[in-house]
Amino acid sequence: MGTLYLVATPIGNLEDITLRALRVLKEVDLIAAEDTRRTRILLQRYGISTPLTSYHPHNWREKAPYLLGLLSEGKKVALVSDAGMPGISDPGEELVKLALARGIEVVPLPGPSAALTALVVSGLPCDRFVFEGFLPRKGRERRERLEALAEEVRTIILYEAPHRLLKTLEDLKAFLGDRLVAIARELTKKHETVWRGNLSQAVEFFQAHPPRGEITLVVGREPSPSPPREIDWGTLIAEVKDLEGKGWERKRALKEVARRWGVSRRDLYKAYLESQDK
Ligand code: SAM
């Protein structure tokens, strides 16, 4: 029996490849690549001339039996995706399942993945997180996924295409509340940027600056706390006095104004008493 190697490749910067990945890509009999043109650029850069064949979501059903046949004959095959870790929002999962079912050894070679790269630079909690890949594009499936995410208490990692980013930010805000978000674009590439803020600010920003390039979103766990407010106690006290002037009891007036402005009744009462001392 041969061996199927799952080889992680760079998500942009061609230097992000391990020594082991280069050795295995050199030694295997065949490389099955999602995008042979893109993989050829990588191989050329490192002087590797191993034969390539395509393996992607549109031909995997026809290609899998051929690759499994080679593996059963004892050949070594490396599977690489367009970028990053094969199997993560990329073809690979099916081939792994089929190979394991035939008793073929499967060896993973770790390396870059956009999801973890974005998570660690996001500034959001990394201790518990969930990877959601691409959201369903529309309809009930999308709504149900967003409803489920509204209950999510872990940091959420999502992939998104640039032309769908704005709609996704709007939907996330509507379903999950105004959470913190980090939007990582073009990671490891020349125009790498990470935008950080909350979802409503992100909607505003990306409306004005339509994004380009590859994007990974990292969404925080809870609605972000509102920015600290400057409370103008004078205005609040004037409102209390106004209500008192209309015949309200002081206690009731304090309660009502505290509710209107979202401040504690005790703090308002304290400010009220201090204003009388002046
Ligand atoms: N297998 C890949 C991995 O492990 O990261 C993911 C493949 S998925 C088809 C491609 C998506 O990953 C892109 O649409 C984008 O959302 C994200 N992505 C890939 N490269 C990226 C990069 N350099 N910066 C930000 N996001 C990236």
* Residue 229 confidence (pLDDT) above 80: no
Local confidence band at 278 (pLDDT 50, 70, 90 cut-offs): low
Predicted local distance difference test score (pLDDT) of residue 225:
57
* Residue 30 confidence (pLDDT) above 70: yes
Architecture of domain 115-223: 2-Layer Sandwich (3.30)
Largest CA distance in the chain: 94
pTM more than 0.85: no
Q: Tokens at residue 120, please? A: 């660690």
CATH 3.40.1010.10 correct for 3-111: yes
SS3 readout for the chain: CCEEEEECECCCCCCCCCHHHHHHHHHCCEEEECCHHHHHHHHHHCCCCCCEEECCCCCHHHHHHHHHHHHHCCCEEEEECCCECCCCCCCCHHHHHHHHHCCCEEEEECCCCHHHHHHHHHCCCCCCEEEEEECCCCHHHHHHHHHHHHCCCCEEEEEECHHHHHHHHHHHHHHHCCEEEEEEECCCCCCCEEEEEEHHHHHHHHHHCCCCCCEEEEEEEEECCCCCCCCCHHHHHHHHHHHHHCCCCHHHHHHHHHHHHCCCHHHHHHHHHHHHHC
Ligand 1 probe mutation, 15, 34, 159, 217, most atoms within 8 A of CB: 159
* Residue 13 confidence (pLDDT) above 80: yes
* Residue 130 confidence (pLDDT) above 90: yes
Predicted local distance difference test score (pLDDT) of residue 135:
98
Q: Tokens at residue 181, please? A: 């978000």
Local confidence band at 35 (pLDDT 50, 70, 90 cut-offs): very high
Local confidence band at 111 (pLDDT 50, 70, 90 cut-offs): very high
* pLDDT tens-digit map of 131-183: 999 999 989 999 999 999 999 999 999 999 999 999 999 999 999 999 999 99
2-6, 100-104, 236-240: segment of lowest average pLDDT: 236-240
* Residue 208 confidence (pLDDT) above 80: yes
Partners of 179 in the β-ladder: 223
Query: Measured in angstroms, how far is the CA atom of residue 134 from the centroid of ligand 1?
Result: 10
* pLDDT tens-digit map of 47-83: 999 999 999 989 989 999 999 999 999 999 999 999 9
Nearest to 106 by CA among 62, 71, 64: 71
Local confidence band at 274 (pLDDT 50, 70, 90 cut-offs): confident
Pocket of ligand 1 (CB under 6 A): 11-12, 81, 83-85, 88-90, 113-115, 159-161, 184-189, 214-216
Query: Measured in angstroms, how far is the CA atom of residue 262 from the centroid of ligand 1?
Result: 42
Ligand 1 atom closest to Cα of 114? 5
- The answer to whether the beta carbons of residues 152 and 172 sit under 8 Å apart is no
Neighbours of 115 (CB within 10 A): 23
